[in-house]
Amino acid sequence: MFDVVANITDARIDEVVHRARIASQFISWVHIELADQLLIPNVVGVDVHGLHDALALVPQLSVEAHLLVINPEKYLAVLIAAGVKRVIVQIESNDPRQIVQLAKYEEIEVIMAIDAPTQIEEIEPFLEEVVGIHVLTAEVGGEHPPFLPETVEKIIKIHQSYPDLLISAEGGIRKEEVRTLKDAGVSRIVTSKSIFEDLGSVGDAISELENA
């Protein structure tokens, strides 16, 4: 099973809803990002205060939130209240174990994310406690940063050590990289540009990624 997840992040909440409605015709999961400009500068995230009302307009979708923030545990309650089903937490945040422990008492899944330069050893102590790992395959913070081929080796190593672990990938992914990622062990990709570049062809774009 290979899934394509649409990144619908935008600073404008009306645009988040617009993209969500388009994506909901073709897929069941969408991805949003929250950013504090501290963990990773120059990343624009969704306004968390408008999230509850926005997601209420697309109840048919399951939503995951990628927390590009220093203290992710501070956002957990508001995300649960908004109806978010899954959080993606950066291993590079201050104390990722806090949110992992808190989530055990809530109906929300946790995936641990690892930035492209970070070594696998940093994330290994968490892999028995989360439902998956999210590998960033491009530098975070730039505008449409290119795919980093060296991240594929990291994915292969993770998959070899944890063959049953869900692995997702995000960053600079085009159709040309999908087969390589599938072969490495990735079972889901998150992308925005490859899906929404032409809003009139979102369904075709998703199908091409799924079947690449």
Residue 42 pLDDT > 90, yes or no? no
Residue 195 pLDDT > 90, yes or no? yes
Range of the domain at 153: 3-210
Q: What are the residue ranges of helices labelled H in 29-109? A: 51-56, 76-82, 96-103
Q: What distance in Å separates the CA atoms of residue 195 and residue 134, rounded to the nearest whole number?
A: 19
Distance between first and last Cα of the chain: 13
Least confident of 19-33, 42-56, 81-95, 173-187: 42-56
The pTM score is 0.95
Q: What distance in Å separates the CA atoms of residue 174 and residue 83, rounded to the nearest whole number?
A: 30
Mean pLDDT, the chain, whole residue set? 94
Please, which pLDDT band fits residue 43 given cuts at 50, 70 and 90? confident
Residue 72 pLDDT > 90, yes or no? yes
Note the pLDDT tens digit of each residue in 83-105.
Answer: 999 999 999 999 999 999 999 99
Please give the pLDDT value at position 200: 93
What is the SS3 string spanning 155-196? HHHHHHHCCCCEEEEECCCCHHHHHHHHHHCCCEEEECHHHH
Structure tokens that stand for 109 in this block: 């899944």
| CATH number of the structural domain spanning residue 134 | 3.20.20.70
Please give the pLDDT value at position 145: 84
Collapse the DSSP code of 118 into the 3-class scheme (helix H, G, I; strand E, B; otherwise coil) and give the result.
Answer: coil
Note the pLDDT tens digit of each residue in 44-62.
Answer: 889 888 899 999 999 999 9
Structure tokens that stand for 119 in this block: 């070594």
- How many domains does the structure of the chain reveal? 1
Q: Torsion angle, CA of 122/127/133/139, rounded to 10 degrees?
A: 0
> Which among 63, 57, 70 has a CA at the least distance from the CA of 31?
63
